[in-house]
Amino acid sequence: MSKLRYALYTGCTARESTPELLKSTLAIAKKLDIELVLLDEASCCGASHLQDFDPFLSLVLNARNICYAEKRELDMVTICNTCQLNTAMTKHKLDNDPELKAKVNEKLEEVGLVYLGTSNVRHFLYALIEDYGLDNLRDRVVKPLSHLNIAPFYGCHNIRPSELHHHFNRTKENPYNPTSLDELIEALEGNSVDYEHKNKCCGFHVDLQAPKTSNILTGNAIVDALDNNADVMVTPCPLCHLNLDVKQKAATKAVNRELPNPMPILHLPQLIGLALGCTPEELGLQHHVTEVPA
Amino acid sequence: MKLTLKVFRFNAETDYLPHYDTIEMEVDPKEVVLDLLNRIKWEHDGSFTYRRSCRHGICGSCAIKVNGRSTLACKERVVDMVETFGTELILEPVSKKRAVKDMVVDKADFWKKYDAVKPWLVAEIDEHPQMENIIPPSEAEKLEDADYCIQCGCCYYACPVVEVNEDYLGPAAFEKAYRFTADVRDHAKKERLEIVDQLGQGVWDCVKCYECAEACPKHIDPIGKITKLHNQIFEEGVAKSNVATRHAVGFKHSIKKHGILDEGELVLYSEGFGVFKHIPEALEMFKKGKIVMPWNMPKSKNLDEIKKLVDIASTVKF
């Protein structure tokens, strides 16, 4: 297999409130000999909120981000479900609407850029599965996770809207019964936990204006994972992670449950990193608000 | 193909709790879920109760949940359900807590919220018009497919916010509101936008999970209409300054300043004085190295490009 190379769109969270996500992503890429070129020019994707205010501006900004992957002749990978949604949605709109693409390019030309549509945009999870392959990953496992019951929490924007997901990924994830994370957990020799809330919403996007809604949705997910004997939850989305990890106490309180032990929440690359033999420091486990036991 | 059906049974008049009947059934892959409901009634238990009428995916009566998925029973092929969920199918009403008898639910909440957006055209109609009231195709296109809603409730009962916030109007009502706010003949655009702009009941409480888009059997994309309502709220000057609107607008300011988002500044900008309630959480995050101080705030490379694009590509003011 020739060396895999991608343009990494980190998103904002991985550079601020979840530094452990960027750290662990780079750590496993090194272990797996995957080259990730950081898109330092990229701006925020708008997180679906700028889209509510100024949809055209958000298209222009996201198109600009993709331009920098295109300039490097690389496909883009994302490590945040919401970045994935907004970037992929922009690409989908521009690639299917020449008039809109021309309007966006008219603005981009003013800063010397042009959006072509030549780079694919996928979440790193699916790039790993589709390009690197779970069999190859399995071969690299040095510390099997067989002692852990791991509850996958998929996060909305990787699996819904399914039409968008299917357009950009060869993995045709079913939003009502997603399997990619479960298969990845099995490849790391962990035990994947089946539970109702694995494909449900954590409520992050209303954290500020409707904290009660957000806390209940997050609390329901954590409690469901716990009731199905999960030792740990794993998510490919840093926004889900913020809710599940940072807000865990408020969330479980909102659903009137006191946990016997806090539920550790891992980012996807942290879980992979543990199986590949990375150290807790390399994976940034010290940055979690809900402690991750050694 | 042999299926195991687990069927929700409940009679609000006689039962304290629901139970599930397990039925083994030989099924032709060409059958739809409604065929299964019919056969349960005809071949197993005549008291089994469900709504159905047109069998053409247009009356919206037969919405149920199969393994938690909202669906129109008459439109959903059994073979597709088996492909997704395997050969054990769980048949339940769209809302278990609103069940009256078996698959039949009391949709009073749905209709109350649907009515709240005034789902009719508000216009001064000339009773004796001299000529036709012609709408150009460019205007008619703005409605998109919003007119195709059959009020089945699939999206509404799939929405997680509806589950936890009883004031929330939900995707079907929003979709219908958009059907009229996008209609050039309608005179109540602002009034409707004010209804859906209210915190607690309106579009700002949408969690953006896209469950409604997946659930809609007519592929209307309710969340797409919710986004358009957000846009109209700003375009029409209806938006009030509150934590939700400032949160949306704050992204633009932060992007212009740093390229990437300044998370702390965004919370401050959105909350105003309300930011104090986040202090305990912020302290915990700070201890774990999760808060970037203003003087260390990273900036995107080629930030001047971003600033220029924000200036020349902005289309909305607030």
Collect contacts of B261-265 with beta carbons under 8 A, ≥24 apart: B261/A12, B261/A16, B261/A44, B261/A47, B262/B294, B262/B297, B263/A12, B263/A13, B263/A16, B263/A17, B263/B292, B264/B291, B264/B292, B264/B294, B265/B294
Of B68, B81, B62, the residue nearest B150 (C-alpha): B62
List C-alpha distances in Å: A134 to A158, A188, B123. Answer: 19, 9, 60
Is B147 part of the contact surface with chain A (CB cutoff 8 Å)? no
Contact between B214 and A56 using a beta-carbon 8 Å cutoff = no
pLDDT of residue B132: 86
pLDDT of residue B144: 84
pLDDT of residue B187: 96
Residue A186: Cβ within 10 Å count: 16
Rounded distance between C-alpha atoms, residue B178 and residue B47, angstroms: 40
The pair of three-digit structure tokens given for residue B302, joined into one six-digit string:
């080629």
Rounded distance between C-alpha atoms, residue B138 and residue B121, angstroms: 19
CA distance B231 to chain A (A): 5
Query: Any bridge partners for residue A9, and if so which?
Result: A78
B window 180-199, beta carbon within 8 A of A:
199
B window 255-284, beta carbon within 8 A of A:
255, 259-261, 263, 267, 270-271, 281, 284
Mean predicted confidence (pLDDT) in B119-141:
90
CB B261 within 8 A of CB B251: yes
ipTM score of complex? 0.97
Alpha-helical segments (H) within chain B: 33-39, 78-85, 108-116, 137-140, 154-158, 160-164, 171-181, 189-197, 211-215, 222-235, 243-258, 263-271, 279-287, 303-313
pLDDT of residue B318: 87
Is B90 part of the contact surface with chain A (CB cutoff 8 Å)? no
Instruction: Identify the band that residue B198 occupies on the pLDDT scale cut at 50, 70 and 90.
Output: very high
Contact between B313 and A51 using a beta-carbon 8 Å cutoff = no
B292: closest chain A residue by CA: A16
At residue A228, does pLDDT exceed 80?
A: yes
Residue from the list A15, A174, A208 with its beta carbon closest to the beta carbon of B271? A208
Is B29 part of the contact surface with chain A (CB cutoff 8 Å)? no
pLDDT of residue A257: 95
% of chain A surpassing 70 pLDDT: 100
Contact between B261 and A44 using a beta-carbon 8 Å cutoff = yes
H/E element, A51: helix A50-53
pLDDT of residue A277: 97
**End-to-end Cα distance, chain A:** 34
Q: State the helix-helix crossing angle for B263-271 and B243-258, rounded to 10 degrees.
A: 150
Write out chain A residues lying below 8 Å of B68, CB-based.
Answer: 176, 196
pLDDT of residue B146: 93
pLDDT of residue B89: 97
At residue A71, does pLDDT exceed 90?
A: yes
At residue A1, does pLDDT exceed 80?
A: no
Location of structure tokens 């490379």: B301
CA distance A231 to chain B (A): 22
Mean predicted confidence (pLDDT) in B254-264:
96
At residue B233, does pLDDT exceed 90?
A: yes
Instruction: Identify the band that residue B126 occupies on the pLDDT scale cut at 50, 70 and 90.
Output: confident
Instruction: Using only the alpha carbons of chain B, give its radius of gyration.
Output: 24
Rounded distance between C-alpha atoms, residue A148 and residue A235, angstroms: 15
For A110-139, how does the pLDDT look when each residue is reduced to its tens digit (9 = 90+)? 999 999 999 999 999 999 999 999 999 999
**End-to-end Cα distance, chain B:** 59
Instruction: Identify the band that residue B260 occupies on the pLDDT scale cut at 50, 70 and 90.
Output: very high
Q: What is the DSSP string of B242-278?
A: SHHHHHHHHHHHHHHHHSS--HHHHHHHHHGGGGGGG
Residue from the list A17, A41, A156 with its beta carbon closest to the beta carbon of B209? A156
pLDDT of residue B133: 81
Beta strand segments in chain A, E:
5-9, 35-38, 76-78, 121-123, 149-152, 191-192, 232-235, 265-267
Residue A139: Cβ within 10 Å count: 9
Q: How many residues does chain A have?
A: 294
% of chain B surpassing 90 pLDDT: 94
Write out chain B residues lying below 8 Å of A52, CB-based.
Answer: 227, 230-231, 234, 248
Mean predicted confidence (pLDDT) in B80-95:
96
CB B214 within 8 A of CB B158: yes
For B17-48, how does the pLDDT look when each residue is reduced to its tens digit (9 = 90+)? 999 999 999 999 889 999 999 999 999 999 99
pTM of the model: 0.96
At residue A268, does pLDDT exceed 90?
A: yes
Is B300 part of the contact surface with chain A (CB cutoff 8 Å)? yes
At residue A255, does pLDDT exceed 90?
A: yes
Residue from the list B210, B248, B313 with its beta carbon closest to the beta carbon of A49? B248
CA distance B46 to chain A (A): 31
Strands B2-9 and B88-92: parallel
CA atoms within 13 A on the CB side of A265: 30
Average per-residue pLDDT in chain A?
97
Of A128, A125, A169, the residue nearest A34 (C-alpha): A128
pLDDT of residue A275: 98
CB B180 within 8 A of CB B188: yes
Q: Is A35 helix (H, G, I), strand (E, B) or coil?
A: strand
Q: At B31, which amino acid appears?
A: E
Task: Count A/B contacts: CB-CB distance under 8 Å.
Answer: 199
Write out chain B residues lying below 8 Å of A54, CB-based.
Answer: 234, 252, 314-316
Residue from the list B160, B221, B310 with its beta carbon closest to the beta carbon of A200? B160
At residue B134, does pLDDT exceed 90?
A: no
Phi, psi angles (nearest 5°) of residue A230: -75, 140
Mean predicted confidence (pLDDT) in B227-254:
97
CA distance B230 to chain A (A): 5
Contact between A206 and B204 using a beta-carbon 8 Å cutoff = yes
Residue from the list A16, A53, A157 with its beta carbon closest to the beta carbon of B263? A16
